[in-house]
Amino acid sequence: MTKPLHIGFIPLIDAAALIVAVDKGFTAAEGLDVILVREVSWSNVRDKLNIGLFDAAHLLAPVAIASSLGLGHIRVPIVAPYNLGLNGNAITVSPALHAAIMAEIDGDRFDPMATALALSRVVAARRRSGAEPLTFGMTFPFSTHNYQLRFWMAAGGVDPDEDIRLVVLPPPYMVDSIAGGQIDAFCVGAPWNSIAVDRGVGQILHFVSDILVRAVEKVLAIRQGWSDKNPELVAALVRAAFRAAEFIEQPENRIEVARILARPEHIGVDADVILRTLEGRLKISADGTIRESNRYLLVGREDAPRPDPVQAAWLYAQMVRWGQTAISPEALTTAKAVFRPDLYDAALGREGRLKHASHAVGAFAGPAFDANDIAGHLAAFRIGRWKS
């Protein structure tokens, strides 16, 4: 048995593979002694990983890239040998904002272009009346939530830096913030959208899979230096998480998984809410309307755990689009190198398999994404903060 590994996580359902790996003994079977540490904010997780208090972490995929590029904080190269979750985010709006958007919508209410255009009309009407800008919560500047909100709004003509306010809130604080009227909407991962619906303070407007068919959300993040020195431990962690993900995806295990995740030391919400999430069957409004999607949260199926550098390139492109960094071939190379399918394949003994095809990001607007032509990608969009 090695010395204990300390791994940080945020109380979100896409930490499930780590939580279940420890609880069901998959880490112990790999000879690992893992201590999970529950945190409330992504800055805490990032900082403790970067300075070595954590050996690994459940981390926002863009934070791993930003850390490797030295954006927003000190530069600490990170590797991500395993995806903990794809999709899983949703956009939740207050009942008042939902009513305003529905009053302006022209088309299918689950069509993100129709809602984005409706939002633009709501924003314009508020400006004419002298009302305060709408306030949207997201979890971190370098987050999929930030980029997904921006991508959706901008497609409808809403400038997220000029027309609304975007504020950073830790995931567990989103519901109280919308209940208290501090924010009008938020984008966050499960289970906090469902909690807002159950409390009657929010309505789920979109699953993120309406906006992006396949979007990496959280990764198992490890400092590159630590990974290079401890390849066997990294491989063991990948195998344990993979086996946990397989367990989670079996329908007969979902009630047990929901109960494990519901414990106060893990996520600390009702197991029924977690079960609905695992089944892709979410209540989207207080009247009990249920929406089902087999793409809401991918933990172990559809090759979800395998890192894809194309996803890293898309996230880097969003950092450039919104003025968080300048465009450069070297930075793109660095960003793509954070996602390590080679480590994943080696851990699972799959080095000799047929070449994997990259899965398309599948955004609802704009051209198909070319990971080797970031400038061309950005040129297709009217709203942004990039410099050519």
Q: Where along the chain do the CATH 3.40.190.10 domains lie?
A: 5-86+216-267+300-379, 89-211
Res 67 pLDDT > 70: yes
Position 181 scores a pLDDT of 97
pLDDT at 358 over 90: no
Above 80 in pLDDT, residue 213? yes
Please tell me the class of the 5-86+216-267+300-379 domain. Answer: alpha beta
Distance CA 11, CA 21 (A): 15
Residue 258 has pLDDT above 80, yes or no: yes
Question: What's the pLDDT score for residue 370?
Answer: 93
- Interval 7-64: pLDDT, tens: 999 999 999 999 999 999 999 999 999 999 999 999 999 999 999 999 999 999 999 9
Q: Would you state the pLDDT for residue 351?
A: 67
Q: What is the pLDDT of residues 129-158, one digit of tens each?
A: 999 999 999 999 999 999 999 999 999 999
Residue 352 has pLDDT above 90, yes or no: no
| Mean pLDDT of the chain, nearest integer | 95
The fold of the 89-211 domain, in CATH, is: D-Maltodextrin-Binding Protein; domain 2 (3.40.190)
Question: Tell me, what's the pLDDT at 138?
Answer: 97
Name the residue with higher pLDDT: 3 or 81.
81
Closest by alpha carbon to 153, among 223, 213, 205? 205
**What confidence tens digit (pLDDT) does each residue in 172-196 have?**
999 999 999 999 999 999 999 999 9
Conformational region of residue 280, where left means phi above 0, alpha means psi within -120 to 50, and beta covers everything else: left
- Quote the longest CA-to-CA distance of the chain: 66
The pLDDT-based confidence of 338 (bands split at 50, 70, 90) is very high
Does the pLDDT of residue 353 top 80, yes or no?
no
Report the amino acid identity of residue 250: Q
Looking at the predicted structure, is the pLDDT value of residue 350 above 90?
no
Closest CA to 149 of 166, 172, 174, 168: 166
